[in-house]
Structure 1
C-alpha cells in the first residue's frame, strides 16, 4: 500500500504519468497499475484520465492529504527504528532561499560535527517552492522568510534577521554615502532578483511604501549574475550585507545601509508541522534552536556605520 501511495503523491506532484514513474524509479505501466490498484482498494476514482493526466478528482484531492500523512508517518517510524539500531544517521534535504544560502553552513557545520553520519543536499529555491516541497515530502526542512508572507502550517525556528544594504561599486551613484534612503535608491539603475523571489517582493514593498518603483536594468534568479554586474559599476543592487560579504567583495565595493524606513525581516528554519518529527528533523530543529539562542546567526548589533555585525 505504501508504495502505491508514494506513486500517487508523485503523480500529483508531476501531473504526468511518465515523469512520475521516472521519479519513482519504475516503468510507466507499473505506476499506472499501482494507481489503479489503489483506486480499486479504496473504491473511488482518484485521477481524471484522458489521453493524458487531467487532474485529480475531488476524492483524489482528499486521498492525497491522507497519503502525505501516511507516507510521512511511515518514514518517521522507519527512521526511528533505524536510529534506535544504529544511532542518528542518514541524509537530509534542505531547500533554501537564495539570500540565505551563505548562512546555511552556520547550521550544517555544527550539526555534522555533532552527528558525523548525517549528510546533506542543499537546494536553492524561492520561498513558495520551499513550502510546496515541504508539503509534497520532497525535502525534510527549509530555510525561508518567516514574517512577510503566510507560511501555512509549519514548525519554525527564527535564525537571524535580514537588513538591507545598497551594494555598489566605488565611484558609482550614491557610493560615497554613509546611509541612503529607499527613495534615493529608486533613482539609480538596479539589478535585482526576479519577482518570483520573496526578497524582490520585499524590496518592491518597501519602495512602494515611500511611493517609488525600482529603476530596473537587469533581473536574475542567480546571485552570481547580480554580483558580476555590480562589479562593472553599471548598476547597483539591494541585498542583505551577509550575502554580499559571503562573496568576498574587494574594498572597491561599498555596502551602504538603507534607512527610512530601516527594513528588517526574519529568516528561519521551517519543517512540516507534525508530531513526531523524524529523528533527523527533530535533531535539526534542536540544533537550530540552540544556535539561535546562542545568537550564533545574528548578534542583532549595529556597528558605527549602521551595518549589521555578523559573526
Structure 2
C-alpha cells in the first residue's frame, strides 16, 4: 500500500467517475483502476462496486475511505508541520464557506495569502452542516459556518460575525415607508427562500414562527445566485443577511433591515479539535483571531 493508492480512492469518491478521477490524479484510467484493484487485493476487501461505469462504494469501502482521508490528512499535515519548522507554510488549505452570511471571508483569505505565498486554497460553498461534516471526515481543514456552544466539544470556534437579516427587494417594483421592517410586513409579499435544511432557512423559519407570520414561498432554491437573480428580475423579495453586499450586485436592489432579526447561531471559523489538526488550519485560526482583535480596537 502506498499514498498514491489512497489518493486515487479519495479522488474517485470526490468525482464519482473513473476517468475524471484518473485525470485529476494525472494518470491513465487503466493505471488508476489497476492500483485500486491492487489495494483491494492487499486488504482482502471489495471497496468499489463496478458495472459498466462507477456505481459506488461498498459498505467496507466507505469505512476504508474514512481511514484513507485520515491518512492523507496526516500525510499533508506532516509536510505542513515540517514547513512550519522551517519557518514557512506550504500546502493547500481546504475551506468551506456558507453561501449566505453577513461577513465576507475572502478579504481575510487574501490577507492570509499575502503573508504565506506558498499556501494554495481549495474553496467550497457548503451548508453549515456539510462544513462540520467535512471537518469530521478530513475533507476540510477549516470552515466559515453557523455554529454555537453545542458544537464546541468537537470544534474550535472563533466567532466572526453576528448575522442580522433584512429584506432584499427590487425598488423599481416595491417600496416601503419604514426604514426598518417587521416580519409582519413580509406576510403578503411574494418571497424567495433557501431550501429547507440550510441554517439560514432555519433561522428565517424560526423568526417567522416566533412572530406568528405564515408565508407560502413563491421561490425555493438551494442557490443564492438563483435567489438574487429572482429578486433582480422582480419575481420576488428575499430575506438575506445584512452586510453581505448582495444589494450591490444590481443598482435596483435594496436591502432593508428587519427589526430584531438574527440567525440562530453566529457565523464562526470552525476547525477540528481532535487530531489530526492541520498546521494550515491552526495558522488561519490564529491569523483571523489577530485580525478580529485589531478590528475591535
CA contact (8 A) 2:88 2:116 kept: no
Give the drift of 1:9: 2.0
Judge which range, 110-119 or 2-11, deviates more.
110-119
Residue 70 (structure 1) aligns with: 71
RMSD: 3.6
Structure 1 residue 270 corresponds to structure 2 residue 278? no
State the secondary structure of the residue aligned to 1:180.
coil
CA contact (8 A) 2:183 2:258 kept: no
Give the drift of 1:102: 5.3
Give the drift of 1:103: 1.3
Residue 236 (structure 1) aligns with: 237
Deviations 1:67-104 (A, max 9, x none): 12111111111222234346124443322111238511
CA contact (8 A) 1:186 1:207 kept: no
State the secondary structure of the residue aligned to 2:30.
helix
Give the drift of 1:237: 1.7
CA distance in 2 between partners of 1:58 and 1:223 (Å): 34
CA distance in 2 between partners of 1:10 and 1:46 (Å): 14
Residue 253 (structure 1) aligns with: 254
Residue 190 (structure 1) aligns with: 191
CA distance in 1 between partners of 2:217 and 2:17 (Å): 37
CA distance in 2 between partners of 1:148 and 1:177 (Å): 35
Give the drift of 1:122: 3.5
Residue 96 (structure 1) aligns with: 97
CA distance in 2 between partners of 1:264 and 1:59 (Å): 38
State the secondary structure of the residue aligned to 2:163.
strand
State the secondary structure of the residue aligned to 2:23.
helix
Residue 159 (structure 1) aligns with: 160
Could you state the TM-score of these two structures normalised by the residue count of structure 1?
0.77
Residue 286 (structure 1) aligns with: 286
Could you state the TM-score of these two structures normalised by the residue count of structure 2?
0.80
Q: Structure 1: any 5+ residue segments left out of the alignment?
A: 300-310
Residue 42 (structure 2) aligns with: 41
